[in-house]
Structure 1
Amino acid sequence: MTKTLDRRSFIGAAGAAILASPAIAQVADEPSTGTVEIEKDISQAVRRNISSFRSLDWRPYFNNLNNGAVLVDISSRALHFWSADGATYKLYPSSVPLTPDLTKKGRTTVVRKVEGPTWRPTPSMKKRNPEWPDFVPAGPDNPLGTHALYLSWTYYRIHGTHDTRKIGRRSSNGCIGLYNEHIAQLFSMTKVGTQVLLI
């Protein structure tokens, strides 16, 4: 009987620890801990990433679903998609800009869709990081991942990433990043003219 209780106690304690882990992972960083979420080098250790998975209704954000609608919530680091007929709703974790000055909010639209995008740093990126290459072809080293939705705002995209550590973090120079499998899904559902709102 003692062995059974010991085993149960061990299993119970292990189960409690496993169940507690996701809650710890979603706690926001506090300034007093010395943990800095804004990182210049994603390879540096960051203890937590944050993404909130809460379903939303489109009506507070859009007057209609003409051409479909994409809502990006910078605070919760989540991208919401509604199809034009309202039958399809998708929610994806995303990466967001590093700092408020790199963040653009407001209404825009998808103006171009590219599978296998190439990448060039913007003039401001090149100024901040002169060592960056002038051009990166499509492929595993491309920061735009496998697909990109170009927005009506110059230099702004919703795109994939090959560096999955960025998702759920402040890690971009202004764009919104998704896992490659998620951007492929979103790419197939959106069209030129899909309305986009960043809040």
Structure 2
Amino acid sequence: MRMTAGYGRRGLIMAGLTALIMALGACTQHAADEHVRGGVQASVHDLDRHITSYVSAPKPRRVVDFETREPPGSIVVSNSERALYLVLEEDKAYRYGVGVGRQGFSWTGRNRVSMKREWPDWRPPAAMRRRQPDLPVHMPGGPANPLGARALYIGSTLYRIHGSNEPHTIGQAVSSGCIRMTNADVRHLYDRVRVGARVVVRN
């Protein structure tokens, strides 16, 4: 009887431990699921909060006098000045320092912002991969991604106005045609530009 009673007590203890482990396991799984779901929703916020490349451009953004026929909300890029202007009311504009296309890759023209993305993925065009075979076919968004914290896509072209994980290149002609900004500046621009806004790139 004692052995049966002892076995019964051990059985109860084991059953209790098993139930506790299962309960903890269920809580842990639920918490993990919540964390995963929350992580997806909060990933942009977390990346923005922890990014280390939010540094000032060689010429920090500022409001300047800027006469243009383009309506407020338009973007005007000057390749020669290495500057991007966001047109404001009353002949004013935000002026940002940017990096532009290197020799043979710079361009001019008019288009519109067709899409906006936070921490965008990067898929190098086939022509770029032929020039640089070590490039990946796809790179997910994040601090190591060359497109940086934000991207504004220009029409149906391959060009973008985007952030950069190489802020030291701002003010230079180094890209394959895209317009580079510091991550801090591209966030500032992104929040003020709507899809459909005009984009004018000039010499």
- Name 1:108's counterpart in structure 2: 111
State the match for 1:122 in structure 2. Answer: 125
Aligned AA (2:87): W
Which consecutive residues of structure 2, in runs of 5 or more, have no partner in the other structure?
1-57
1:74 to 70, 79, 91: 79
The structure that is helix-richer by fraction is 2
**Can you list the C-alpha shifts for 1:35-65, whole angstroms capped at 9, x where unaligned?**
xxxxxxxxxxxxxxx8799945242xx3x41
Q: What SS does the corresponding residue of 2:163 show, helix, strand or coil?
A: strand
Q: Which amino acid aligns with 1:57?
A: F
Aligned counterparts of 1:139 and 1:193: Cα–Cα separation in 2? 26
Amino acid at match of 2:86: F
The reply to whether residue 98 of structure 1 matches residue 107 of structure 2 is no
Q: Percent identity?
A: 34
User: Does the aligned pair in 2 maintain the 1:107–1:196 contact within 8 Å?
Assistant: yes
Go from structure 1 to structure 2 and tell me whether the alpha carbon gap of 1:102 and 1:108 turns closer, same or farther (over 3 Å shift).
same
Normalized against structure 2, the TM-score is what? 0.65
Looking at CA atoms only, which structure, 1 or 2, has the larger radius of gyration? 2
Paired residues for 1:12-31 under 5 Å: none
Which residue does 1:148 correspond to in 2? Answer: 151
SS at match of 2:181: strand
Q: Tell me, what secondary structure is at the counterpart of 1:102?
A: coil
Deviation of 1:154 (Å):
1.5
Say how many residue pairs are matched: 145
Provide the residue aligned with 2:66 in structure 1. 57
CA drift of 1:140 comes to 1.3
Partners of 2:60 and 2:122 in 1: how far apart?
29
Q: Deviations over 1:163-182 (max 9, x none)?
A: 11110111111100000000
* RMSD of aligned alpha carbons: 2.4
Q: Distance in 2 between matches of 1:185 and 1:173?
A: 23
The 1:56–1:173 alpha-carbon spacing in structure 2 relative to 1, beyond 3 Å, is: farther
Residues 27-42 of structure 1 aligned to structure 2 (within 5 Å): none
CA contact (8 A) 2:61 2:185 kept: no
Gaps (5+ residues) in structure 1?
Answer: 1-49
Partner of residue 159 from structure 1, selected from 152, 157, 162: 162
Give the TM-score of the pair, scaled to structure 1.
0.67
Flag the 1:196–1:131 CA change in 2: closer, same or farther, 3 A: same
